[in-house]
Structure 1
Amino acid sequence: MASSLAFTPLPTRGGWRRALAGACAALLLSGSLPPPARAQNNLPALGDSVSEDFGVGTERRLGDQIMREIRRDPDYADDPLLQDYLESLWQPLVAAARSRGEIDGDTTGRFAWEVFLVRDRSVNAFALPGGFVGVHLGLIAMTASSDELASVLAHELSHVTQRHIARSITNSRRQSLLSAAAMILGVIAAGRSGSADAANAVIAGGQAAAIQGQLNFSRDMEREADRIGFGLLTGAGFSPAGMAAMFEKLDQASRLNDSGSYPYLRSHPLTTERIGEARSRLGAAPKAAPAGRLEHTLAQARARVLMDTRVAALRRWQSLDEGGVLRAPVPGQEAEALAASASSALASTLLKDWDRADASLARATGLLRAALRRPGPVPAADLRAERALAQLQAQSQLERGNVAAAAAALAAAPAPAGGAPERAVMLLQARISSAQVAAGADGSALRRQAEALQTWVANHPTDAVVWTALGQVWARLEQPLRAVRAEAEGRYAMGDLTGAVDRLRAGQRLARGGGPQLDFIEASVIDARLREIEAERRREFAEREGRGG
């Protein structure tokens, strides 16, 4: 039931993709949905039959069920640095949707409004029920600017705000009634004429009508997502040319494996048609300041390395520094040179080839500083690129155990605008402070990091990576109950209810042992969370049993 921007359907590789289809089917077959409303030919109005057939609460529960499977899959890519960059594009779009009224009172607090990464080379993005949007690393790797990537996010966000998945499910159920009616007519025709061919012709015609109706419905929703997404893109301050440029890229890519024939069999309108519509909207769109390319260039470089971390693939990216460390880039190709250096630095870090990592990092730093010294105002995104490169340097130093150099790299980076917390920086600082405590430093800095991480998970309770990091920090600070509880919450956020229960029971055993480190408040929280999660496990088991296993 996912809605996807790319021409091709979601790949079938990976357990969560199979689980996605299974979860949707299970919910439809379980009787959780009310019976369908009377059939109608037009798109249902929001709030009418959609709410009756597939309510906001039902859609969010389905989305949570799917995301539980996704977060446990190896293809779920939670890279903090890339995630921060993606959030920097996503949050302005969500804010624009709220200000334009696209996010209404029913969904504003009940949908997740969450964007996540998928380790997949294909150029794709997709929306899921309940306000979740997935982005393939391959999409980030092929986009040339933040505006292009933001246009895809705006398109997928519009699928969510317009509740296209709920409308698709409603329409699919009506189309299934049409198919069933065709089969009944076929049986009647066969009984009257005695001809099996006549019956088959009626059945095939009915099925074709149902399929075509679903395709037409899907194409209408894609056009609607393009139109509303364009408004979100410009409302969030991105360049309106980003959407047309993205469609042109898709059109060029599709020519390699798509003849362009039979457009009426697509669920998406022809890309040439979408390009024309996007360009026709440019004249009335507000102008946007140039976004800058440097931050996106570093994200692009990181995404293409993390798409495939096998040794052979990393060697290919590492080879980009061969013979080019000291050579000046060709004028006009500075961004490409920066991407090559950053890709090589990350690949060398993952391969633990420290000399080559340092050489590539030095070249990337020189290229970035030269770009920032160019005449004219520097876009804010380009200034953020300096922080992204500092985080790559800190990561490389931490991987080799050089804690002091990692701390120096982060300290030298410019402070973020507005002082907003950055998840990637928090996680790096927690690792640095933890290593410093292990080496004999006092725990004051690490306690500050624990407080920052605790505040973060209070606002982002499904962030398994931060919960896990928090557990490690509490363990280093000799707070075993808090450490066990954070580990349990991390397991729960990953959808591992059994693992969460096991850790919470371990916490109960620790609490029963007493001792000077016993935290009675934390012990009470562990007892309460154990009861909640065990009750949730029982409900899930009962639902599976009710569906016949």
Structure 2
Amino acid sequence: MMMAVAVATPARAQSLIRDAEIETTIRAYAAPLLQGAGIPVDAVTFRLINNPRLNAFVAKGNRMFLFTGLVMRTETPDELIGVIAHEIGHIAGGHHVRLDDNLETLTATSLLGLLLGAAAGALAGRPDVGIAIGTGAQQAALRNFMTYSRTQESSADAFALKALEREGLPADGLLEFMHELESQEALTPEMQDPYMRTHPLTRDRIRAVENRVASAPPGVRAVPAPWEDMHARMLAKLNAFLRPPGEALRLYKDREDIAGRYGRAIAHYRAVEMDPALALIDGLIADEPNNPYFHELKGQMLFENTRVAEALPSYERAVSLLPEEPLLRVALAHAQIESGDPALLEPAQDNLRNALSRDPSSALAWRLLGQAYGRAGDAAMADYAMAETALRSGDYERALFHVGRAETQLKRGAPTWLRLQDIRGEAERRRDDG
């Protein structure tokens, strides 16, 4: 399932894409580099921004954001791994976004809103109310926060080269990426990709990477073979979801490998051509019956075409294969709630609580939990969950409204009542700071 937190701008719609398979792929690329640097893999959050420009950045809280434009321009894992290694270098060097005290607690959603330009909310048919950005001066300050110095860039390059060599991974991709940026130097700043402006490129940086690549120890360095296939599937998924269906079908029309069929299955589904879409995904499941993402996609196809009862077994199978993935549990819970079966409300609540224990920042999971509580007749817990939803969506007045309703229905001093006091304090502080 691809979920998105949308951030609308006058020129285009930006969105924060959430997809379990894509995030797993990016995390797999980063894991050896992080571990080699002594950084726990779980300490870093990876998010994908739906934007065609070539860009990436890290923010406080060890959050790494990659633009779809960057990912989709990479034909093999090497180039993307080089960029990830460089961005990890910023994390390891403490070059994070220099946000002031008033911005330190921003969620990924609200940070994205401030960076890209308008209001944030959840898609999938039911947008949540989001945040509004501040003044032009605040945006200028944020651009300054995101700009690294040349010294920091050279330091991140050095880290990336050392980390790639330590893990036996090629640095050629990082060099290719630099040459891509170098080709933009003749363009006006407005025409350059954002990465060029926030990550200053110098000839000395390119020369340092060229020298390291040229002096690499003998022997062919290559990424692990499974990563090539993972990358092809990730690109197929992004191309099929983000390009017009007809364009994606033409792109993969002659591909009979897994990635090609995957891309066509998604493109047919997005074109509302369910017979070929289901035939393709059933064929993929027959080839890889234990692939949770294929079952998830079939569930999404059926669910979004109002075949909720048929979607449930697919989502259940996906969760059984990958029970620790919160996004899959959220998808299953959504289908359980929309099934209209009261007996599934408690399992839906269990799935959402499980998901939130692993990813408490998910406004969508909190909103669905509020719906599940409401349909089960638990008004107090429904208001509590909606307070959490509003807090994470940046709607602080709405959060305070639900806190006020929920705390009158709960026993004073109970754990949930105490959590409501925390929400009240945080919402008031963020509202006043804004």
Q: Given the two structures, how large is their TM-score scaled by the length of structure 2?
A: 0.69
Assess if the C-alpha contact under 8 Å between 2:161 and 2:209 holds in 1: no
Letter in 2 for 1:448: P
Going from structure 1 to structure 2, the CA distance change for 1:529 and 1:412 (only over 3 Å counts) comes to closer
In structure 2, the partner of 1:432 is 335
Letter in 2 for 1:93: A
1:139-195 deviation per Cα after TM superposition (whole angstroms, max 9, x unaligned): 2222234454333223212212201247999xxxxxxxxxxxxxxxxxxxxxxxxxx
CA distance in 2, matches of 1:234, 1:415: 38
Give the alignment partner of residue 276 of structure 1, picking from 187, 197, 210: 210
Going from structure 1 to structure 2, the CA distance change for 1:278 and 1:340 (only over 3 Å counts) comes to farther
Give the alignment partner of residue 176 of structure 2, picking from 244, 248, 259: 248
Going from structure 1 to structure 2, the CA distance change for 1:413 and 1:90 (only over 3 Å counts) comes to closer
Going from structure 1 to structure 2, the CA distance change for 1:412 and 1:234 (only over 3 Å counts) comes to farther
In structure 1, the partner of 2:343 is 442
Give the alignment partner of residue 480 of structure 1, picking from 375, 379, 384: 379
* TM-superposed deviation, 1:367: 6.5
In structure 2, the partner of 1:85 is 22
In structure 1, the partner of 2:232 is 297
1:499 aligns with 2:432: no
Letter in 2 for 1:488: A
- More moved, 359-368 vs 391-400: 359-368
CA distance in 2, matches of 1:459, 1:425: 12
1:393 aligns with 2:298: yes
CA distance in 2, matches of 1:281, 1:130: 35
Give the 3-state SS of the residue equivalent to 1:421 in structure 2. coil
Give the 3-state SS of the residue equivalent to 1:134 in structure 2. strand
> CA-atom RMSD, angstroms?
4.3
Assess if the C-alpha contact under 8 Å between 1:321 and 1:360 holds in 2: no
CA distance in 1, matches of 2:175, 2:275: 38
* TM-superposed deviation, 1:251: 2.9
* TM-superposed deviation, 1:451: 2.3
CA distance in 2, matches of 1:450, 1:167: 38
CA distance in 1, matches of 2:163, 2:367: 35
Equivalent residues in 2 for 1:92-131 (5 A)?
93=30, 96-97=33-34, 100-101=37-38, 113-131=44-62
Assess if the C-alpha contact under 8 Å between 2:46 and 2:64 holds in 1: yes
Letter in 1 for 2:359: H
In structure 1, the partner of 2:326 is 423
* TM-superposed deviation, 1:88: 4.6
Assess if the C-alpha contact under 8 Å between 1:127 and 1:160 holds in 2: yes
Give the 3-state SS of the residue equivalent to 2:48 in structure 1. strand
In structure 1, the partner of 2:350 is 451
In structure 1, the partner of 2:103 is none
The gaps in structure 2 that reach 5 residues or longer are 1-6, 101-146, 189-195
Give the 3-state SS of the residue equivalent to 1:75 in structure 2. strand
Letter in 2 for 1:297: A
In structure 2, the partner of 1:37 is none
Letter in 2 for 1:296: H
- More moved, 358-367 vs 451-460: 358-367
1:217-252 deviation per Cα after TM superposition (whole angstroms, max 9, x unaligned): 8233223212323444566x6x612x4235425635
Assess if the C-alpha contact under 8 Å between 2:370 and 2:386 holds in 1: yes
CA distance in 2, matches of 1:14, 1:347: 22
Letter in 2 for 1:244: D
Letter in 2 for 1:268: L
Q: How many percent identity over aligned positions?
A: 18
CA distance in 2, matches of 1:240, 1:233: 5
The gaps in structure 1 that reach 5 residues or longer are 1-12, 17-72, 170-215, 308-312, 373-382, 512-518, 545-549
Going from structure 1 to structure 2, the CA distance change for 1:368 and 1:448 (only over 3 Å counts) comes to closer
Q: Given the two structures, how large is their TM-score scaled by the length of structure 1?
A: 0.56
In structure 2, the partner of 1:75 is 14
CA distance in 2, matches of 1:361, 1:253: 41
In structure 2, the partner of 1:405 is 310
Give the 3-state SS of the residue equivalent to 2:58 in structure 1. strand
Give the 3-state SS of the residue equivalent to 1:77 in structure 2. strand
1:132 aligns with 2:63: yes
Assess if the C-alpha contact under 8 Å between 1:345 and 1:357 holds in 2: yes
Give the 3-state SS of the residue equivalent to 1:471 in structure 2. helix
Going from structure 1 to structure 2, the CA distance change for 1:168 and 1:267 (only over 3 Å counts) comes to farther
1:312-366 deviation per Cα after TM superposition (whole angstroms, max 9, x unaligned): x6354465399x5xxxx46xx7366335414413532xxxx2xx24314423554
* TM-superposed deviation, 1:102: 5.5
CA distance in 2, matches of 1:459, 1:364: 29
CA distance in 1, matches of 2:317, 2:417: 44
* TM-superposed deviation, 1:116: 1.7
1:320 aligns with 2:219: no
1:347 aligns with 2:270: yes
CA distance in 2, matches of 1:396, 1:138: 25
Give the 3-state SS of the residue equivalent to 2:226 in structure 1. coil
In structure 1, the partner of 2:95 is 164
Assess if the C-alpha contact under 8 Å between 2:79 and 2:176 holds in 1: no
In structure 2, the partner of 1:7 is none
Going from structure 1 to structure 2, the CA distance change for 1:447 and 1:254 (only over 3 Å counts) comes to farther
Give the 3-state SS of the residue equivalent to 1:442 in structure 2. helix
CA distance in 2, matches of 1:96, 1:321: 33
Bigger radius of gyration: 1
Going from structure 1 to structure 2, the CA distance change for 1:368 and 1:542 (only over 3 Å counts) comes to closer
In structure 2, the partner of 1:183 is none
CA distance in 2, matches of 1:282, 1:413: 42
Going from structure 1 to structure 2, the CA distance change for 1:358 and 1:142 (only over 3 Å counts) comes to farther
